[in-house]
Amino acid sequence: MIQPDDDSSDLSVDLPELLTRVDADRKLLRELLGIFKREFPCILQSLQEAVVRGDMKKVEVTAHTIKGMLANVSFRRAAASAVRLERMGQQRNTQGRQEELASLEQMASLALAELEGFCTEMIR
């Protein structure tokens, strides 16, 4: 379960957890990475639009979906940020939403870079 204050790891990706989840199947890991790179930008764009509009109901739903996606690839810190955004949506709290979105984008970007790096390492 992802907690909103889950910033425990120095790394943005919990690789041991992710490898357990994919049963150390590196081919599957690369496949999931591919899916993430294809799907994440679209859903992130929806979230960005909702945040800009202040449509907190939409923020809640979209952040929920993003949370699941990030958690599945063990982007723990980004997922924790998505949890916080989902909660803001639930509470219809517009305060600090853009900052939280920016944080999510940054952490997701870092985690993606880490994971890509790991995958590249694996190929070598």
Q: Residues interacting with another protein, by CB under 8 A?
A: 1, 20-23, 25, 28, 31-32, 35-36, 38-39, 61, 64-65, 67-69, 71-74
Distance CA 119, CA 17 (A): 15
| DSSP letter, residue 45 | H
Residues in the chain: 124
Q: Which is nearer to another protein, 42 or 124 (CB)?
A: 42
- In the complex, minimum distance from the CB of residue 27 to another protein, in angstroms, rounded to a whole number: 10
Q: Which is nearer to another protein, 59 or 69 (CB)?
A: 69
Buried b (16+ CB within 10 A) or exposed e, 88-107: bbeeeeeeebeebbebbeeb
- In the complex, minimum distance from the CB of residue 11 to another protein, in angstroms, rounded to a whole number: 17
Q: Which is nearer to another protein, 61 or 110 (CB)?
A: 61
- In the complex, minimum distance from the CB of residue 71 to another protein, in angstroms, rounded to a whole number: 5
- In the complex, minimum distance from the CB of residue 122 to another protein, in angstroms, rounded to a whole number: 17
Going from the C-alpha of 79 to that of each of 25, 32, 52, the distances in angstroms are: 23, 16, 20
Going from the C-alpha of 42 to that of each of 5, 84, 123, the distances in angstroms are: 26, 20, 28
Q: Which is nearer to another protein, 3 or 93 (CB)?
A: 3
